[in-house]
Amino acid sequence: MIAEDTAEPTATRPVVRLRPKAEARAIRHGFPWVYADELVTDRRTQALAAGTICTLEDDARRPLATVTVNTKSKIIARVLERDAGAVIDRAWIAGRLARALELRARLFDEPFYRLVHAEADGLPGVIIDRFGDLAVIQPNAAWAEAMIDDLAAALAEVTGVQTVVKNGTGRARGLEGLPEETVVLQGAVTGPVAVPMNGATYMADVLGGQKTGLFFDQRPNHAFAARLAQGARVLDVFSHVGGFALACLAGGAESALSVDASGPALDLAGQGAAAMGMQARFATRQGDAFATLEALAAEGAQFDLVICDPPAFAPNKQALQAGLRAYERVARLAAPLVAPGGYLALCSCSHAADLTQFRNASARGIGRGGRRSQLLHTGYAGADHPMLPQLAESAYLKALFFRLD
């Protein structure tokens, strides 16, 4: 049952204040976060429940914004509204959702996309992926966890979806001090959801799969790879549910081999290929990606297009150097598998590795693999994954497309 609206009157809202050395101007100009060392954290502030909605003031006690506070997080406050008197309730959420929906309706002919991309869509820490009449919410900030019933109700009201799933898993929730939980909030889930994208059909496990069940962010990179794949032999490593492989088959590939460590993910990829009527041109190979790349080289395998889309090897600064070495190793092992004149696509979803670092690691790996390369194209997440300009330098998804001699 959906709860009643949980907004609090602004007159009784707690007040939190920036320290004198904090940069209030950044908040005024649209920066969405306050870090723990920028906020006065007296006993009153420390006692606030995670996700409490507060009025933020600068060090001179001038109102700055309406924020949500979580003292357990390094991002101690997230800006909800630059209006310090804003009422944060179900109607406010519905307004943000309607704005997000209007953009996606312009971008896509069918309702399969990322509907809400956190801060950039004005709902900090909230991810919502839409799969037709089903939607998956990832409430990755404490305020969204506290208002999950309002989020679900507003989502159904604005979009008309019949089923709403809460996916409460992942590293981001751990950083907020939130427990892991996946539950169906409205409607029912009877099995994998068929998702049309780039002419391919994907099967998304919205309850047990990675993230929300499918990676919509790679849509434009799938499309670019498909253009290179006409008549090609394709190898898709770290394939998940067949992301690049199925798009390439839809684009006219001669054959596609998906490699992944997850048997269930490869089963879903096979179901997608069958739904497309292309199972005869599709094969899977379960195993560790690095070991499989080495085994394919030992077998003398060659492909016209090789794509490697690994998980985030560098999710934070502490893992950066090890992550860059892993990206270099992927490129070194993949390059020899590309036939002369063929193509290699290398992807990174690591926030900590910027484009220059990732590109340099990839180029080193290709060179160490004995190949010369020509960089053709750099891809990013699609337009349903917008970014705030203030955070654009931290764009997480990068896809590099090379032609190899």
Residues known to be catalytic: 349
HEC string of 56-108? EECCCCCEEEEEEECCCCCEEEEEEECCCCCCCCHHHHHHHHHHHHHHHHHHC
Inter-residue contact 312 to 241 (CB < 8 Å): no
Structure tokens at 88: 């944060």
269, 238 contact by CB (below 8 A): no
SS3 content of the chain, % helix, strand, coil (to 5): 35, 30, 35
Question: Rounded CA gap, 180 and 174, in Å?
Answer: 8
d(CA 242, CA 257): 9
Residues whose CB is less than 8 angstroms from the CB of residue 109 and which lie 6 or more positions away in sequence, other chains included? none
Any idea of the CA torsion for 244, 246, 247, 250, to the nearest 10 degrees?
A: 160
Rounded Cα distance between 128 and 163, Å, is 13
Nearest residue to 78 via CA among 30, 45, 46, 40: 30
d(CA 275, CA 292) in angstroms, rounded, equals 27
Buried b (16+ CB within 10 A) or exposed e, 302-335: bbbbbbbbbebbbbeeebbeebbebbbbbbbbbb
CA distance 384 to 363: 29
Q: How far apart are CA 165 and CA 197, in angstroms?
A: 21
Distances (CA, A) of 127 to 114, 198, 204, 252: 8, 22, 16, 33
Between the two ends of the chain, the Cα-to-Cα distance in Å is 61
DSSP 259-299: EES-HHHHHHHHHHHHHTT-GGGEEEEES-HHHHHHHHHHT
Give the span between the Cα atoms of 133 and 337, in whole angstroms.
41
